Homo-oligomer: A and B are copies of this chain.
Amino acid sequence: MAPLPVSPLARALPDLPPVAGVRFGAAAAGIRYVGRTDLVMADFAPGTTVAGVFTRNKCPGAPVDWCRAALPDGSARALVVNAGNANVFTGRAGYEATQANAADAARLVGCAASEVFLASTGVIGEVLPYEKISTALPGLYAILSETGWADAARGIMTTDTFPKAAVRETEIGGVPVRIQGIAKGSGMVAPDMATMLCFVATDAALPPSILQPLLAAGTNRSFNRTTVDSDTSTSDMVLLFATGQAGNPPVTTPDDPALAAFATALNDLLLELALLVVRDGEGATKLIEIQVKGAVSDESARKVAMAVANSPLVKTAIAGEDANWGRVVMAVGKSGEPANRDTLSVAIGGVWIAREGTVVPGYDETPVVAHMKGPEIEITIDLGLGNGIGTAWSCDLTHGYIDINGSYRS
């Protein structure tokens, strides 16, 4: 199959300066792809803490199981990621592959196996050839570098059409702190489903008890508000590593005011990475933002926004540049959340088209038509019931999605 064209919604990879205490690198281990890197490793300075959030899919991959078991210790010294094989639904062989990979990395770094975090992405149900990883790891470890971030962003791609990273500079207690992350997701040709991986590192000094709630809150407001095709992967994970090299003053509670700027920067970075994943959604040509207000609660607003974001009829209409507000009304109504046809209003590109149970007579179609031709579509829904607000992001559903996912695996 020919390489996929780069998404029209792609963003250039930003400059990725060092984050003190983090070294990255990538190598070609020949796991599935030919002529490209497919194995990424990082090592972290002693004392690095870690937080993680994982797929809610009930059939998770072996690396997800491994990371869930390792996370409670809150300590990380290494990360090993391969592309091309997800190590999902591989039974005992899958478990043994994670053990072997972690042991190999721990030996190189000089740490406990439980301080090694693992992620795999690619085809499901094929045994991971962990010997190839064992063979490649020593050479990869030897070239780890503080400037290896861009190589890592490329090495974790499967059929992503562009590498994804984001950078933030902030402060804790007046001390400058850096947060930097890479992500992959949504390109799927030979593999089997849109797996999303995201790795973020900061030089801040923060205990796991603070890192974990920060990451969970930020993920709920970013990755968990995005959808490409409503299919929850077995391999999704976001890991946040904090090396402590920035030397900021200690922070002991998640609601310490000294954390405000850091939390904002982290949330902002996670949202940027999440939207980069949507921008590389399979076949995507338009990024869609759905803002809901007037819901009975924020949670209700989120569910309404996600129902619209997941509607194939809304997504195909946007692919066709059709401001089809009737399908938005349908999707609001099918969400199951409190909604009242007669208080519902819908705007597209800032123009209110439907209000109080009927179309707005003589609304100006010209700016709406122009908006629909652009690459970023805004839908605003006012339920007119309460003060709940929520936003979700999606992409359009095009022939490209069918091309990518309807072609035979092998």
Selected from B193, B326, B340, the residue in CB contact (under 8 A) with A124 is: B326
CA distance A357 to B311 in the complex (A): 32
Q: How large is the interface on A (under 10, 10 to 19, 20 to 34, 35 or more residues)?
A: 35 or more
CA distance A324 to B409 in the complex (A): 8
Mark interface residues in A317-361 (1 if CB within 8 Å of B CB, else 0).
Answer: 101111011110111111111111110100000000010111100
- With contacts A89-B354, A402-B402 known, is A333 near B234, CB below 8 A? yes
Contact between A408 and B312, CB atoms less than 8 A apart: no
**Chain A residues proximal to chain B, CB less than 8 Å:** 56-60, 88-94, 123-126, 188, 192-194, 229-234, 310-313, 316-317, 319-322, 324-327, 329-342, 344, 354, 356-359, 397-399, 401-402, 405-409
Selected from B234, B313, B402, the residue in CB contact (under 8 A) with A397 is: B402
Contact between B401 and A312, CB atoms less than 8 A apart: yes
Cβ of A235 to closest chain B Cβ, rounded Å: 9
Residue of B nearest to A86 (CB): B326
CA distance A192 to B233 in the complex (A): 30
Contact between A401 and B60, CB atoms less than 8 A apart: no
CA distance A402 to B344 in the complex (A): 28
Contact between B312 and A230, CB atoms less than 8 A apart: yes
Cβ of A376 to closest chain B Cβ, rounded Å: 18
Contact between A59 and B401, CB atoms less than 8 A apart: no
CA distance A339 to B409 in the complex (A): 26
CA distance A373 to B408 in the complex (A): 12
Copy tally for this chain in the complex stands at 2
Cβ of A97 to closest chain B Cβ, rounded Å: 12
Question: Which residue, A312, A325, A340, A344, has most C-beta atoms of chain B within 10 A?
Answer: A312
Contact between B90 and A193, CB atoms less than 8 A apart: no
Residue of B nearest to A191 (CB): B326
Selected from B59, B321, B340, the residue in CB contact (under 8 A) with A332 is: B59
- With contacts A59-B341, A321-B408, A401-B316 known, is A192 near B327, CB below 8 A? yes
CA distance A58 to B332 in the complex (A): 8
CA distance A354 to B91 in the complex (A): 10
Contact between B409 and A329, CB atoms less than 8 A apart: no
Contact between A313 and B234, CB atoms less than 8 A apart: no
Selected from B230, B234, B344, the residue in CB contact (under 8 A) with A59 is: B344
Q: Kindly list chain B residues whose C-beta atoms are within 8 Å of the C-beta of A397.
A: 402, 406
Contact between A89 and B341, CB atoms less than 8 A apart: yes
Residue of B nearest to A410 (CB): B322
Cβ of A54 to closest chain B Cβ, rounded Å: 12
Cβ of A148 to closest chain B Cβ, rounded Å: 31
Q: Kindly list chain B residues whose C-beta atoms are within 8 Å of the C-beta of A94.
A: 358
- With contacts A89-B341, A234-B333 known, is A313 near B405, CB below 8 A? yes
CA distance A301 to B36 in the complex (A): 43
Contact between A311 and B231, CB atoms less than 8 A apart: yes
Contact between A192 and B324, CB atoms less than 8 A apart: yes
CA distance A93 to B359 in the complex (A): 11
CA distance A324 to B310 in the complex (A): 22
Contact between B229 and A313, CB atoms less than 8 A apart: yes
- With contacts A193-B327, A311-B231 known, is A405 near B320, CB below 8 A? yes
